[in-house]
Amino acid sequence: MSVLLFTGLFSSSVQARVFLYQMPDGSRLISDHPLINTEAKLVRRTKELDNIGHYAARRSLRAKRRMRLWSYFIFHESQKQGIDDSLVKAVIYTESYFNPNATSHKGASGLMQLMPATAAKYGVSDIYNPKQNIVAGIKHLKYLMTLFPENLKHVIAAYNAGENAVNKYNGIPPYRETQGYVKKVMKHFKRFQLASR
């Protein structure tokens, strides 16, 4: 789940120092100065902003290539559960950029960023196995849809923050990460739906 966020005022010179960080929620942040006392992880330091842009473009391209590898399997498994495969692709794209080895600082792992307890619930023996991860993630989405029928945004919020949080706030929790997550998944969902047509 990665998005480029810009902070600070960059000088007109492309030679200014640029720092690319990965935030705890998986998003990316670009700064013109090093961050202090933060949980963000430094990913890259460069003197040219263009290099960061190229990094993001390459990452997006890799995600699209990986998605093509798993598109049929996602479609097939989504059909079994009666779920739109565009939604599953949107969740995977947002969660891991289709990187089967992705791991978050909270312990969520694999393509659909399953937490260990969720993976165990659906019988996953290898959380980094793409097929097992996708099947379990789809089943979890189906489960959440039974809890929040006719409200896709609540389903997506529950996938990120847990169903208890959605129930507690009777809707999308007031967490910046979750609110941003719902917007990103919905955006990609609509994009993949249009592409499938």
Cite the active site residues: 95
3 state SS of 55: helix
Measured CA to CA, the distance from residue 5 to residue 21 in angstroms comes to 10
Residue with tokens 């165990």: 120
Any residues with CB less than 8 A from the CB of 101 and at least 6 apart, and which?
A: 110, 128
Burial label, 179 (beta-carbon count in 10 A; 0-12, 13-18, 19+): middle
